[in-house]
Amino acid sequence: MTDETRTTIEVLFGKKWEARLLSHLDVMRALSRALRRSGLPIYFTEGFNPKPKVSYLTQPLALGHTSECERFRFMLEEKKSVEETLRALAAKMPPGLEPSAARIALEGEKPAVAKGMAYIFFLRKGARGNAPQPPFSMPEEFGWMSPREATPSEIAAARLFDSRETTAPRGPVEDFISGSFESAFVIKTAAGSEFRRPDKIMIPAPPVVKEDFFFHRLRETAE
């Protein structure tokens, strides 16, 4: 391998419903295994226990929640097309971890750093206590935007069911949401480790237990 043939690939992937209970370390292990099995000329670390050199670029997602904007980087020893790389990786990823896009990072290019995170806040029907309703009361320094109702396309992208199940919901997504959830709102907060659980900084704190709601990370934002 030479510097001329070495390629850095950045992958965008989703952590869907099937994978919501995987911890951050579990996800990292799954990515490493998928790279090993992909058949791609992966660049490995040196030392006694070599492994694929993977850099996770997105703030770790809280356990039990989902996302469609996770990012990581790895290196190839030989140049491959983005399409071939994405196809080989997707074929070996476990259910619920779904690559959606990839690109070649330029030489010396530093990863983009998100300033904010947008989430969909879902509250299940029959939630105990009084469900938080907009307008949420938020500290200004946390950078929250005014919540709005999530669109059907945003909710559909979250895919709130296990795609392996034969009982996956059918019909209009609006019917599925209205039958299962009290509300679905888009909210945004600043990026950072202290904001990984948006429910922890809501004011007042939601008087519902964690089983009654969850978040879907919708996208990273530049502000």
Hey, what are 17's tokens?
């419903």
pLDDT at 207: 55
- Tokens 């059918």 sit at which residue? 170
Contact (Cβ atoms closer than 8 angstroms) between residue 102 and residue 82 = yes
Looking at the structure, do residues 89 and 176 belong to the same domain, yes or no?
no
Residues 6+ away with beta carbon under 8 Å from 51: 32, 44, 45
Which of 105, 128, 162 represents a domain boundary (last residue)? Answer: 105
- Locate all alpha helices (DSSP H) within the chain, ordered by sequence: 24-37, 82-90, 152-158, 173-180
Which domain covers residue 35, as residue numbers?
7-105
Counted domains in the chain: 2
Residue 197 or residue 69, greater confidence: 69
- Check if the beta carbon of residue 77 is closer than 8 Å to that of residue 42: yes
Average confidence (pLDDT) over 136-149: 58
Q: Which residue has the higher pLDDT, 130 or 71?
A: 71
- Residue pLDDT, tens place only, 25-37: 999 999 999 999 9
Asked whether the predicted pLDDT for residue 3 surpasses 60, the reply is yes
Is residue 111 in some structural domain? no
Tell me: do 77 and 145 sit in the same domain.
Answer: no
Q: Tell me if 9 sits within 8 A of 92, measured CB to CB.
A: no
Q: How far apart are CA 13 and CA 67, in angstroms?
A: 8
Q: Regarding predicted confidence, which is higher, 214 or 89?
A: 89
